[in-house]
Amino acid sequence: MELPKKYNHIKRDQAIYKKWMDQNLFHSEPDEREPYTIVIPPPNVTGVLHMGHMLNNTIQDVLVRRARLLGKNACWVPGTDHASIATEAKVVKRLEAQGIKKSNLSREDFMKHAWDWTEEYGGTILTQLKRLGASCDWDRTRFTLEEDLSNGVIEVFVDLFNKGMIYKGVRMVNWDPKAQTALSDEEVIHKEVNSKLYYLNYQIEGEEEFLTIATTRPETILGDTAICVNPKDERYLHLKGKRAIVPLIGRSIPIIQDEYVDLEFGTGCLKVTPAHDINDYELGLKHNLPSIDILNDDGTLSEKAELYVGLDRFEVRKQIAKELEAKGILAKVEDMKNKVGFSERTDAVIEPKLSLQWFLNMKEMAKPALEHVMDGTIKFYPENTKNTYKHWMNNIKDWCISRQLWWGQQIPAYYYGDGANDFVIATTLEKAVELAREKTGKAELKATDLRQDEDVLDTWFSSWLWPISVFDGFKNPDNEDFKYYYPTNDLVTAPDIMFFWVARMIMAGYEYKGLPPFKNVYYTGMVRDEKRRKMSKQLGNSPDPIGLIEKYGADGVRVGMLLSAPAGNDLLFDEGLCDQGRNFSNKIWNAFRLVKGWEVNEKAEVSVVAEQANEWFTAIFQKNLAEINANYDKFRISDVLMSSYRLTWDEFCSWYLEMVKPDYQKPLAKKTYFQVIAHFENILRVLNPFMPFITEEIWQLLSERESTDSLMVNTWPVEERAADVVQEFESYKKLISEIRTIRKDKNISFKDQLELKVIADQSASTRYDAVVIKLTNLKNIEYVNTKVENSLSFVLGANEYFIPFAEEVDVAAEKNKLKEEINYQEGFLNAVEKKLSNSRFVDNAPEQVVANEKKKQADAQAKIEVLKKQLASL
């Protein structure tokens, strides 16, 4: 069989994936094995795969695949999120492109368009994940708006309402004028912006005097209902009880006093606009002020503003500033920086708005959710993310859950009248009718007499139930799946949705199941470009994931992503990482080609070197395996990969294979061959979670197998005790390195066989001499008693080595080398002896530390002696 020089991922990856699918290897059903479960953070239906998904899902796949190899019943549940506001925005945009306005559509028609969109694009991202190699149980794919999940959401809403935790009320909320909906606090992003502070003169009613207020939003003066000063402010004591006139519209408003006002800021006078600022709203309540809402839902000024009606708020700001200036009301303008809230989705500037919305009080739910993270029932990686979590949970506010959108879960409130409380909450319309009849005593009420609340629920009100609802934990709480898979094991997600999602899932988990939704949360970092910038469409710095997969192979990209992505750290992505991943694939492939190319003969003699190589590699493999397992337990995935990488590249390829490699045109002993295959298979097992494709391919080709015998459902290597030879072998690596250096320094070709002569220390081992001979191309190693004339020499430990040299040896240079070495050793010895002569060190330090220093002292002394001897003999 002629093997290609490179692994052809284009040709093979998708075929391998198909085989896994055909064999149904990703599918899981409850059985007697230990379950291992991950639920995917459901990507938005509208989404296409970006680098963040790549990182996140690669990590999940690594964890799932390893669990599978460990013999657990691994189940990774995929799915998508309906993403209410994000999807609706896209659908609206598409309709606009077709010349259709949302406002001209009925709710029903709009929903049809939205479902069309979902069917069209909803599967895209999941298909893309398959290219990455994601081993999700696709039979279990769920969607947050599908019937069963949707029913769960309704049930929870009804339940929380009945418990008094959900309520409807008028509150100051974050209003997104672009999407024209209320938002939760978490959906508002505060950014520092450059703005202007306008100083405006308000006339005191009935007097010539003016007072000056400072505001960043001059357009809101049209909604002013008071001026407020601090009662301690001596500048304004005389204004108590007086009134001021709002410029331009001439409205008379009271001048009130409140400690809230900061004497230092601006002029110490605050204009109060209760409808458009949360603090002003509070002041308004306290002082019983009227509230004038001057804004329409789309951010234009309303009739109540009296002026500039119908114009956008920012346009008004420009114009009103000019008008105020022209009329001499504007005293001055200062530049300043302040924080402004922006909508996470639409980037529109948020307006605080008094509005009737649905809220969820989470104070009680937060208690167990906080407690079980703090006590480690649920572990966070990295651990310090717990602090952020704790702070938020301790200051939790009511969650505004209603959205003025259509695409989403419609609120199950049914109105039978126009009064604020003329509604019932029910899981179905039929039940609503019953309840309405009971409540009103009107037996004649029909379904058509009821009107369902128009609002939908925040997307996260669906997603917070995800780990429960994907296993039908609401529909059928006692079902086998739910009992078996819940609580899930690990959640892999980005820290920016800790509050949106993670915290709320934990709350829902305890509220509804009395159990955590997962045991570990792994927070990935953000994927940035090599200049640390966020990846964004505008910057065009986000590579196309599918393009990368096609260029480097899924294995290469996976390795590239994980090579430098410790938990919580941002990943500075550049394509060089994929190069490295692809090179690694190539290295493994070629190791395979090498092994496959060997002629194997039953009668060939097993070499000493091959036996020693086998013993040593077994030991070094075990050492690495222990490290790898430990790092998995700590979720140090990139460290796992790095250990595996070095184990494969350095230990397996550069050392082990070089050792067992048969001599030119000689066959390899069958026994040795089987050892090589066994070690290679262990390497493949360890690499498989990271590089599922190429390892599977080699697994199939390395030895004759049934095609159904897939590596992905094979076993993880077992940790066992191995001969303790690693340390000893390391010193031989040093010797080999030394000889190679001499070859290089003296320009001696590898083809020229060298002789090595040694004056050995009594205790020196000769165990791996054959290895040295093979790897450095020596004639032999000869043990001698006296120095060898005209040779290149060096000292290792307490041994003197000589390599006879055909040319004249530069004695002066050799002497210098020795002197330098002696100097270094003496300096070292000095430091050690200084330590040992310090009684406080000897008395205080642990015995072992002192003993070690003594050993270092003895070793250094011995070495110096040998070096001096050699110097003298030159």
Residues in region 345-384 near RNA by CB under 7 A: 384
E-assigned strand segments in 374-483? 379-381, 399-400, 402-403, 413-415, 423-425, 451-452, 456-457
Closest distance between RNA and the C-beta of residue 532, in Å?
Answer: 7
Q: Do the bridges between strand 402-403 and strand 456-457 make them parallel or antiparallel, or are there none, so unpaired?
A: antiparallel
Helical (H) or strand (E) element with 291: none
Q: Which residues pair with 701 in a beta bridge?
A: none
Q: Taking CB under 7 A as the rule, which mask of x and - marks residues 40-79 in contact with RNA?
A: ----------------------------------------
Q: Rule CB under 7 A: say whether 281 interacts with RNA.
A: no
Tokens of 417: 């009248």
Three-state secondary structure call for residue 402: strand
- Report the residue number, 586 or 629, with the smaller CB distance to RNA: 586
Instruction: Report 466-505 residues binding RNA (CB under 7 A).
Output: 495-496, 499
Closest distance between RNA and the C-beta of residue 192, in Å?
Answer: 8
- Report the residue number, 358 or 732, with the smaller CB distance to RNA: 732
- Cα 689 to Cα 49, 91, 110, 580, 637: the distances in Å are 21, 38, 44, 17, 11
Q: Rule CB under 7 A: say whether 852 interacts with RNA.
A: yes
Pairwise CA distance, residues 111 & 53, whole Å = 28
Pairwise CA distance, residues 224 & 275, whole Å = 9
Q: Rule CB under 7 A: say whether 194 interacts with RNA.
A: no
Could you count the other beta carbons within 10 Å of the beta carbon of residue 740? 14
Instruction: Report 609-668 residues binding RNA (CB under 7 A).
Output: 639, 642, 645-646, 649-650, 653-654, 657-658, 661-665
Q: Rule CB under 7 A: say whether 266 interacts with RNA.
A: yes
- Report the residue number, 393 or 711, with the smaller CB distance to RNA: 393
Residues 600, 675 contacting (CB under 8 angstroms): no
Q: Taking CB under 7 A as the rule, which mask of x and - marks residues 384-403 in contact with RNA?
A: x--xx--xx--x-x------
Q: Do the bridges between strand 79-80 and strand 142-143 make them parallel or antiparallel, or are there none, so unpaired?
A: parallel
- Report the residue number, 177 or 218, with the smaller CB distance to RNA: 218
What DSSP line would sit under 101-156, residue for residue? -GGGS-HHHHHHHHHHHHHHHTTHHHHHHHHHT----GGG-EETTSHHHHHHHHHH
Q: Rule CB under 7 A: say whether 821 interacts with RNA.
A: no
Q: Rule CB under 7 A: say whether 318 interacts with RNA.
A: no
- Report the residue number, 6 or 327, with the smaller CB distance to RNA: 6
Pairwise CA distance, residues 434 & 861, whole Å = 96
Q: Which residue type occupies 707? A: S
Q: How many residues bind RNA (CB under 7 A)?
A: 93
Q: Taking CB under 7 A as the rule, which mask of x and - marks residues 549-568 in contact with RNA?
A: --------------xx-x--
- Report the residue number, 447 or 630, with the smaller CB distance to RNA: 630
Supply φ then ψ for residue 762, to 5 degrees.
-55, -40
In degrees, rounded to 5, the angle at the alpha carbon of residue 574 between the alpha carbons of residues 572 and 580 is 110
Judged by CB under 7 A, the residue of 13, 176, 224, 277 near RNA is 277
Residues 486, 515 contacting (CB under 8 angstroms): yes
Closest distance between RNA and the C-beta of residue 849, in Å?
Answer: 4
3-state helix, strand, coil in the chain (%, to 5): 50, 20, 35
- Report the residue number, 406 or 523, with the smaller CB distance to RNA: 523
| Omega within 30 of 0 (cis) for the link into 566 | no
- Report the residue number, 114 or 756, with the smaller CB distance to RNA: 756
Q: Taking CB under 7 A as the rule, which mask of x and - marks residues 127-166 in contact with RNA?
A: ----------------------------------------
- Report the residue number, 135 or 638, with the smaller CB distance to RNA: 638
In degrees, rounded to 5, the angle at the alpha carbon of residue 588 between the alpha carbons of residues 586 and 591 is 110
Q: Which residue type occupies 515? A: L
Instruction: Report 710-739 residues binding RNA (CB under 7 A).
Output: 736-737
Closest distance between RNA and the C-beta of residue 588, in Å?
Answer: 8
Q: Do the bridges between strand 243-245 and strand 252-257 make them parallel or antiparallel, or are there none, so unpaired?
A: antiparallel
Judged by CB under 7 A, the residue of 27, 744, 779, 815 near RNA is 744
Closest distance between RNA and the C-beta of residue 636, in Å?
Answer: 8
Candidates 26-34, 154-162, 424-432, 747-755: pick the segment binding RNA (CB under 7 A): 747-755
Per the listing, tokens 């001439």 go with 250
Which residues touch 812 (CB under 8 Å, ≥6 apart)?
Answer: none
Residues 479, 27 contacting (CB under 8 angstroms): no
Q: Rule CB under 7 A: say whether 23 interacts with RNA.
A: no
Which residues touch 848 (CB under 8 Å, ≥6 apart)?
Answer: none
Per the listing, tokens 């708006």 go with 145
Q: Rule CB under 7 A: say whether 265 interacts with RNA.
A: yes
Instruction: Report 590-609 residues binding RNA (CB under 7 A).
Output: 590-591, 593-594, 597
- Report the residue number, 288 or 747, with the smaller CB distance to RNA: 747
Pairwise CA distance, residues 313 & 356, whole Å = 22
Q: Rule CB under 7 A: say whether 87 interacts with RNA.
A: no
- Report the residue number, 279 or 440, with the smaller CB distance to RNA: 279
Closest distance between RNA and the C-beta of residue 867, in Å?
Answer: 18
Instruction: Report 751-810 residues binding RNA (CB under 7 A).
Output: 751, 777
